[in-house]
Structure 1
């Protein structure tokens, strides 16, 4: 079967591999689309703490049941919740398995969806609704990240928002917030090509390379600041700004993973009595909400900027590690499916 393989730092290969062997409690999915995530870029860079070469990456994917599922027949359209929970630690035993102390993911700790076939636990398979395309089915996972961030942040409809970062997660958060009733929403992004994508989706933007973030946002909010800040960038420069642009007793939701511990102005956080919330992945309920949202709001598909064939394995990672207009890049493995 065709696969996209992580063969070592900065080394991505198109490779023919054997189809996975079915084992008890698992099922085989015939992959349709698989997206490249920020975690995959960490693997590509050789800095992910768990991923080991050779590895078939991919934890955002859609496909059809091939074999091994006890109730879903062959050909059923599905996506996958890729979280692998131990079921035994304190968080798992107390209803917080998404922050399992031993959390692992399909596509990081075992082979994932960047291949024609992928083996996944039966309980992780989620059927897709008929009104969701297979491409959108591969976008459910990042939308679930957005849903979780917004729900955990206790966002209230109508409150003002600044989002740092117009990558996949940032745009998913923006679209999800808009569906939740956000009216005043600004996206901060230095990549001019991604700024254009955000504008195409109807969002107000700030380019920090040409404008003062703090001045622009205070000007937009009558010198008060915004109710919510969502950090979807994970860049040290963002940390310098987030406590400035949020209002007194405002909310900061940290969604992005930082490569190095940043320096946060704790004094300003105290003076303003800010609420800072950190979030990680999603719950099963968040995942189901994401499916409903994607079915009702087809504009999520506009986040998908590039669909490549597996033979273009290297190109996918080049698009996302250089200054391009790429947001969500996917590989297509079943060219006969729509």
Structure 2
């Protein structure tokens, strides 16, 4: 079969490799679509601590079952809950397997989905209804990240929010906020091509280069500040603006994975008694809710900017590592 293979820092190629053999409890899946996410970009850069070349990356995907299992049969359309938990550590035993002490992931700790076939434990599969297209089936995973960020932190309908970053997770967070009943939603982005997508979804987007964030937050919220501030950018410039945007007793949620250490004005957090929260991946329930969301909210599809054939493996990573390329979510159409 053909597969995109990570061969070392900033090097991927399309190669012919063996079709994976299924282990007990697994089924073979013919991959339909596979997306590139931030984790895959860290692998590509050579900075992921666990990913070792050669490796087939990819954990956001949809596909069709081609070998009968106990639960799923040939022809079933599926996505996958890609977390690998040990089941024995304290987080696993207390219902928090998504933050397992030894958490693994498809496409890092074993072969991933940027290939014609992948073998997956059928207990980790999620059936896709006919009302979800193959490409949106592959988009359930990033939406699950945003569902988890809201549900885990007790977001309430009617609360207002500001979202920093109009990448995949930033845009998806804004849409999930809208579907969870948020009041005012403001997005912050400097890349005009990404801001344009957000405006097409009928969001108000501001450029922090042209706006004073503290003044804007007060103007939009009648001088109070935002109930919720979501960091989906993961850069120092945003970290420096978080406390300017949040209200007293408000919440800051760090969704972005910071690649470099960042400094925060913690004294501002003290003055406002701000709650700073962090979120990681998702629970299985978040995945199920995300599946329902992508069925009813069509704007999630606008986040997918590029669909490439498997043979263009290197091009997908090039698009996402080139500034101002216009790429947000890049997917490979595999079958």
> What aligned pairs does 1:149-160 form with structure 2 within 5 A after superposition?
149-160=149-160
Q: Whole-Å Cα distance in 2 between the matches of residues 130 and 198 of structure 1?
A: 27
Unaligned runs of 5+ in 1: none
Residue pair 1:22, 1:68 contacting (<8 A) in 2 also: no
- Which deviations, in whole Å up to 9, do the C-alpha atoms of 1:80-125 show, x marking residues without a partner? 0000010010010111000000000001111111000001112111
Count of matched residue pairs: 334
CA positional deviation for 1:128: 0.6
SS at match of 1:56: coil
Q: Whole-Å Cα distance in 1 between the matches of residues 212 and 194 of structure 2?
A: 18
Tell me what 1:249 maps to: 249
SS at match of 2:66: strand
CA positional deviation for 1:68: 4.5
Q: Whole-Å Cα distance in 2 between the matches of residues 209 and 67 of structure 1?
A: 54
> What aligned pairs does 1:321-336 form with structure 2 within 5 A after superposition?
321-322=321-322, 323-334=324-335
Tell me what 1:318 maps to: 318
- Which deviations, in whole Å up to 9, do the C-alpha atoms of 1:244-280 show, x marking residues without a partner? 1101111111111111221111111111011111111
Q: Whole-Å Cα distance in 1 between the matches of residues 243 and 210 of structure 2?
A: 20
Does structure 1 residue 95 correspond to structure 2 residue 95? yes
Q: Whole-Å Cα distance in 2 between the matches of residues 26 and 87 of structure 1?
A: 18
Q: Whole-Å Cα distance in 1 between the matches of residues 69 and 300 of structure 2?
A: 29
Unaligned runs of 5+ in 2: none
Does structure 1 residue 174 correspond to structure 2 residue 174? yes
Q: Whole-Å Cα distance in 2 between the matches of residues 198 and 299 of structure 1?
A: 10
Tell me what 2:108 maps to: 108
Residue pair 1:249, 1:272 contacting (<8 A) in 2 also: yes
Residue pair 1:79, 1:138 contacting (<8 A) in 2 also: yes
TM-score, normalised to structure 1, is 0.97
SS at match of 1:249: strand
Residue pair 1:189, 1:206 contacting (<8 A) in 2 also: yes
Does structure 1 residue 221 correspond to structure 2 residue 207? no
Deviates more, 1:193-202 or 1:213-222: 213-222
Deviates more, 1:68-77 or 1:233-242: 68-77
TM-score, normalised to structure 2, is 0.98
- Which deviations, in whole Å up to 9, do the C-alpha atoms of 1:175-200 show, x marking residues without a partner? 01001112310111111110111111
Q: Whole-Å Cα distance in 2 between the matches of residues 279 and 312 of structure 1?
A: 33
- Which deviations, in whole Å up to 9, do the C-alpha atoms of 1:115-163 show, x marking residues without a partner? 0000111211110112111100000000000000011221111111100
Q: Whole-Å Cα distance in 2 between the matches of residues 212 and 309 of structure 1?
A: 43
Q: Whole-Å Cα distance in 2 between the matches of residues 45 and 4 of structure 1?
A: 15
Tell me what 1:300 maps to: 300
Q: Whole-Å Cα distance in 2 between the matches of residues 230 and 174 of structure 1?
A: 9
Q: Whole-Å Cα distance in 2 between the matches of residues 42 and 257 of structure 1?
A: 10
Tell me what 1:274 maps to: 274
Does structure 1 residue 76 correspond to structure 2 residue 76? yes
SS at match of 1:67: coil
Q: Whole-Å Cα distance in 2 between the matches of residues 295 and 325 of structure 1?
A: 25
Tell me what 2:258 maps to: 258
- Which deviations, in whole Å up to 9, do the C-alpha atoms of 1:38-71 show, x marking residues without a partner? 0000000000000011111100000010115212
CA RMSD of aligned residues (A): 1.0
Q: Whole-Å Cα distance in 2 between the matches of residues 326 and 214 of structure 1?
A: 30
Residue pair 1:31, 1:64 contacting (<8 A) in 2 also: yes
